[in-house]
Amino acid sequence: MTEDQHSPFAAQRRSGHIESTLYWSLASGKEGTNGGTESSDGLPVSTSDLGMISEAATLLRSGETVAFPTETVYGLGADARNTAAVEAVFAAKGRPSDNPLIVHIARREDLGHLVTEVHPVAEALIDAFWPGPLTLVLPVRPGVLSPLVTAGLDTVGVRMPDHPVALALLRAADCPVAAPSANRSGRPSPTLAAHVLEDLAGYIGGVLDGGAAGVGLESTVVQVQPDGTVAVLRPGGITAEQLAAVTGTEAAAAEPAAGADTPAGASGGGSVPVPPAAVPGGGEAGAAAQAAAGNSPAPRAPGMKYTHYAPRGALGIVRGSSAQRVAETAAGLLQAAQRAGEITGLLLFEEHRALYPADPAACTVSLGSLSSPEEAARFLYAALRRFDEAGATYILAEACPVTGLGAAIMNRLMKAAGESVIDAG
């Protein structure tokens, strides 16, 4: 596998003792294969898979890295207490060292070993959403985790995944597992084991193939402030509306400071910058969000500082007052790009397909219906990888409403596009 020259970060480093990445194809987690079989821990894992999961757990305990499925995306796991193992994660991904990692646990009681306190509002969120796609940033207990996991901060993000394979692996390994997404840094996150192998084969110890991820976007990351307000550090599978239904107050969005690192060439041609979205709620909630973001050079949560999720071609997001205007503007830009010799790509929603001319781009991918954001979330990263497969060099994507799950979808698209937006008027 050749080195990725498009990564904005340091080149990945192969592990000198990994001759080839181990691969386990599991029945658990794949459509129609669970069949109600449970492990000794009561998890719905196929009996035939237990031996393979045990092998992967042994690999984790020995300081190796293992990619595994969760309900969000595939994670690249390492023993969070083992600095050498965590270093291998950063090296394999080419990940900047000031980007903290999320720690995954399988049991509620494991949380007390990692953090010093849990605010009552955080407890309520845990009751409502664990296991599930919610990460809580909490004060870390000194000395229990590798300092690389927290990027030197006094907090750590912790979650309990809602996937039978992930939970079985975590219980078998019996250690806290630091696990960012199992892809090269800056690339679209993996929702299939094939995506992991495409990016990391030969760089990691093993891959557990448990089929397609269900949610398709990373977890929502939140931090509860001393006054009980909730700051959303990264939108994800749990929406702001769901959080508010539990806490009774509107969650506030925390964004990185202006000037966060963006690699050259990440913006699509002809794009214009978009101002940061207004913080929902304003007032005390907005202040809490900014406090959670902090002034430290290291972000409090993954996905806050760097450009992520990007295809190799230049990507721009087209938004406007109507779907018709968006389609007309996008079609014109794509035609001009094609005449200039670009290989074009278009990411649209199914309701708008008829607004475009036939074959508007060399590669046109639908995210499904606007009325089903869950479908768009599930297939977004796979769609971005489709453009790479087609060799697309100039890609446009339609914007979607920033409500519900649409907030997370737009967050990922904006990161992938390096905040590059084209206003269709």
Q: Please say whether the beta carbons of 237 and 256 come within 8 A.
A: no
366 contacts: CB under 8 Å, gap ≥ 6: 348, 349, 350, 353
Alpha carbon distance 63, 178 (integer Å): 12
Q: Please say whether the beta carbons of 171 and 43 come within 8 A.
A: yes
Describe the strand order of the beta sheet including 66-68 as a list of residue ranges: 22-25, 206-209, 66-68, 75-79, 177-178, 102-104, 155-159, 134-139, 220-224, 230-234, 252-253
Task: Count CA within 13 A, CB hemisphere, residue 202.
Answer: 8
150 contacts: CB under 8 Å, gap ≥ 6: 100, 140, 156
Which pLDDT score is estimated for 27? 87
Both structure tokens of 313: 């071609």
Q: What angle do CA 115, 116, 121 make, to 5 degrees?
A: 85
Which pLDDT score is estimated for 30? 65
Q: What is the pTM of this model?
A: 0.84
Alpha carbon distance 159, 71 (integer Å): 12
Alpha carbon distance 396, 46 (integer Å): 42
Q: Please say whether the beta carbons of 318 and 356 come within 8 A.
A: no
For the beta carbon of residue 45, count every other beta carbon within 10 angstroms: 26
Give DSSP secondary structure letters for 19-51. Answer: SS-EEEE-STTSTT--TT---TTS----HHHHH
Q: Please say whether the beta carbons of 319 and 422 come within 8 A.
A: yes
Alpha carbon distance 420, 61 (integer Å): 42
Per-residue pLDDT of the chain (425 residues; tens, 9 = 90+): 334 444 434 456 665 555 689 999 998 766 544 444 454 455 678 888 999 999 999 999 999 999 999 999 999 999 999 999 999 999 999 988 788 999 999 999 999 999 999 999 999 999 999 999 999 999 999 999 999 999 999 999 999 999 999 999 999 999 999 999 999 988 999 999 999 999 999 999 999 999 999 999 999 999 999 999 999 999 999 999 999 999 999 988 875 433 334 332 333 333 322 323 322 333 444 444 444 444 444 555 555 555 568 999 999 999 999 999 999 999 999 999 999 999 999 999 999 999 999 999 999 999 999 999 999 999 999 999 999 999 999 999 999 999 999 999 999 999 999 999 999 99
Which pLDDT score is estimated for 300? 58
CA 346 to chain centre: 22
Alpha carbon distance 230, 417 (integer Å): 27
112 contacts: CB under 8 Å, gap ≥ 6: none
Alpha carbon distance 59, 52 (integer Å): 11
Alpha carbon distance 96, 102 (integer Å): 14
Alpha carbon distance 303, 301 (integer Å): 6
Both structure tokens of 52: 């393979």
Alpha carbon distance 47, 73 (integer Å): 24
Strand partners for 209: 25
Collapse the DSSP code of 163 into the 3-class scheme (helix H, G, I; strand E, B; otherwise coil) and give the result. coil
Which pLDDT score is estimated for 11? 52
